[in-house]
Amino acid sequence: DEVRRLALEFAVRLPKNAENVVAGMAARGFLAGIPLAPLGAGAETDLLIAVTERRTRADLDAFAKALEEVSCS
């Protein structure tokens, strides 16, 4: 059987420093993504996020809610 693989990467600009948001998300059990500034690829608030087919809608909803809480509080 052929298994279809899906990977989607996208950058977001957060209202807070991306490294701090990654740390806050890790405390909630999420691997949030890669801050782009240390790579010379974006601003201090830019974060690269990747999503694969292994994540359910519930996983994505929980991630989005946690990301909003961490980055907007």
The tens-digit pLDDT sequence of the chain (73 residues) is 566 777 889 999 999 999 999 999 999 999 999 999 999 999 999 999 999 888 899 999 999 999 999 999 8
The whole-number pLDDT of residue 54 equals 87
The whole-number pLDDT of residue 1 equals 52
Q: Which amino acid is at 62?
A: A
- Lateral strand order in the sheet of 34-35: 7-13, 46-52, 34-35
Nearest alpha carbon to residue 72 among 15, 28, 13: 15
pTM of this structure: 0.87
